A = this chain, B = another copy of it.
Amino acid sequence: MKMVTLEEAAALLKQHDNYLILMHKSPDGDAVGCAYGLCLALRSIGKKANPLCGDEIPELYNYITDGFEMQEFEPEYIVSVDLATADLLSGKAKDYAERIDLCIDHHGSNTGFAVQGVVDGKAPSCAEIVKKILDVMGVKINSDVADAIFTGVCTDTGCFKYSSVRPETHRIAADLMECGARSAMICRLMFDSKSRAKLDMERRVLETLEYACGGKIAFVCISKEIMEKSGASQGDTEGVASIPRQIEGVRVGITMKEKDDGEYRFSVRADDDTDASEICRKFGGGGHRAAAGCSIYADSPEKAKNAMIAACAESIGGDA
């Protein structure tokens, strides 16, 4: 993949037409925000453009997708946003995996699957890069585009909380608000809104809270029973993994989710001195230092839990 500058990417997005913009499977706020935002921005300068995702766009993003209509055209120039590897394409988006012209991404691990790419591994969201390209293009960002891009900026930074946030992240947020982004509505929807079922599920999960290693490890379990009794959806479990790690004194937070056929799915969150991905690699998983995951197959939840706690204890040099 040939790396290009923001200026070159801007030129590519001006000189072609009939753009198809690909999102990864299980699209998050950054993927949806970038794809719809870029699409609407291209349309605003007279281009034809459609977003494409193999999976359905979650209802959470209805304020972006409501009233959006697909255009009729034969795709000519294929762009991917927030896509680290073509393996993350699903459904119909997969058909374009081999012919992506331009990759816009913020994953340092990007596998370079496109003809050309603008990748900034330090950008906290892909939306920041899209915003910069639109600025270079001289596109006037309207309120719909601003809503979409703001969504990417705030969701991928945990509402401006993560260590990846840079001064320019806040300046971009300020610009987007001036272009009409409904900052408070979006932040509220993304971060301060829970279904009854999700809240009930979280309450039940907190009842499973256990400590190990003198409080340095915290463990919670999302059992099938909890999912059934609360009526929570799989999507509702997002965010639960960050709960045990938030507790004062906890260095490693473990969230175990009961799946079928003796599979227990783990999410591990670690402090700065601990490598969650190293812990998960022991069980064939992986991820980042701060957040990683793996599956353990066992004939009881106790066994799966104990195996993980032992691995975490070893990693932080304590007794489980």
Contacts and interface: CB of A to CB of B under 8 A. Distances in A.
Interface of A: 158-163, 165-171, 173-175, 177-178, 183-184, 187-188, 191-196, 199, 202-203, 206-207, 209, 211, 215, 242-243, 246-249
Nearest to A160: B160
B178 A167 contact: yes
A276 to B, nearest CB: 16
Nearest to A209: B199
Please classify the interface of chain A as helix (H, G, I), strand (E, B), loop, or mixed, using the class held by over half of its residues: helix
B159 A159 contact: yes
A206 B207 CA distance: 11
Contact of A177 (B170, B174, B175, B196): B170
A194 B196 CA distance: 22
Contact of A192 (B168, B196, B206, B242): B242
Contacts of A183: 160, 165
- Stoichiometry (number of copies): 2
A49 to B, nearest CB: 28
A246 B194 contact: yes
Contacts of A195: 247-248
A258 to B, nearest CB: 20
A167 B160 contact: no
Given A173-B170, A199-B209, A192 B160 contact: no
Contacts of A242: 192
Among A169, A170, A178, residue most surrounded by chain B Cβ atoms (within 10 Å): A170
B167 A184 contact: no
Contacts of A192: 158, 161, 242, 246
Contacts of A191: 161
